Amino acid sequence: MIINHPLLGPCDAQEFIYKGDARLIDRPDGMSDGAEAAFYDYAYLRDNPAGEHRELWFHEQGDRSWLVVTRNTLTHEITSVELARDVARSRGRSA
């Protein structure tokens, strides 16, 4: 597979490490009420879609960016590649 890195252009998927579902970005607040239930969901419950999947890839043999790759699990077609940092910010994460 080829991942079109937003900064570096097309790179072979062999340069990357796969982590999993991009919702790992949405880490709950550990100090909030109901944190245990929220973390149970966060750590263990995943969708396993046949089709479009947003997932985290790490450019370990490259610039060490974490990317959010939108990939079709049936065809491996990649429709978008974003810097995970930008996605995290757009989902309300900051410092």
Partner 1 sequence: MRLPSGGQIDRTQKLSFRFDGQYYKGHPGDTLASALMANGVRLMGRSFKYHRPRGVLTAGSAEPNALVALRTGGRQEPNTRATTIELFDGLQAFSQNAWPSLRFDALAINDRLSNFLTAGFYYKTFMWPAAFWEKLYEPLIRRAAGLGAITTKPDPDAYDKGFVHCDILIIGAGPAGLMAALTAGRAGARVILADEDSRMGGQLNSERFAIADMTAPDWAAQILAELSTRPNVRLMSRTTVFGAFDHGIYGAVERVSDHLPRPAQGKPRQILWRIYSRRAILATGALERPIAFANNDRPGILNAGALRSYANRWAAAPADTVAVFTNNDDGHRTAADLMAQGITVAALIDTRADAPTLPGVECLAGAQVIDTTGRLGLNSVTVRLANGRTRKLKVGALGVSGGWNPNLALSCHQRGRPRWDDTIAAFVPTADLPPGMSVAGAAEGQFSTHAALSTGAARATQALADLGRIATPPDLPQTEDTPSRITPFWHVTGDKRAWLDFQNDVTVKDVKLAHQEGFRAVEHLKRYTTLGMATDQGKSSNMGGLAVMAELTGQSIAQTGTTIFRPPYTPVALGALAGRSTGQDFRPRRLTPSHTWATEQGAVFVEVGLWMRAQYFPRAGEKTWRETVDREVLATRASVGVCDVTTLGKIDVQGRDAAEFLNRIYCNGFAKLAVGRVRYGLMLREDGIAFDDGTAARLAEDHVVVTTTTANAVAVYRHMEFARQCLWPDMDVQLISTTEAWAQYAIAGPNSRKLLQKLVDPGFDISNDAFPFMACTEITVCNGCPARLFRISFSGELAYELAVPTRYGDALMRRIMAAGAEFDLTPYGTEALGVMRIEKGHAAGNELNGQTTALNLGMGRMVSTKKDSIGAVLSRREGLNTPDALRLVGFRPKNPKARIPAGAHLLAKGAQMLAANDQGYVTSACYSPCLQTHIAIGFLKDGAARMGESLRAVSPLTGEDIEVEIVSAHFIDPEGERLRA
Contact positions toward partner 1, by CB under 8 A? 1-2, 17, 19, 24-25, 27-31, 35-36, 39-40, 42-44, 56, 58, 60, 64-66, 75-78, 83-85, 87-89, 93-95
Residue type, 55: E
Rounded to a whole number of angstroms, the minimum distance from the CB of residue 48 to partner 1 is 19
Residue 90 to residue 64: CA distance in whole angstroms: 20
Rounded to a whole number of angstroms, the minimum distance from the CB of residue 78 to partner 1 is 8
Question: Considering beta carbons, is residue 4 or 49 the nearer one to partner 1?
Answer: 4
Residue 61 to residue 43: CA distance in whole angstroms: 27
Residue 77 to residue 73: CA distance in whole angstroms: 8
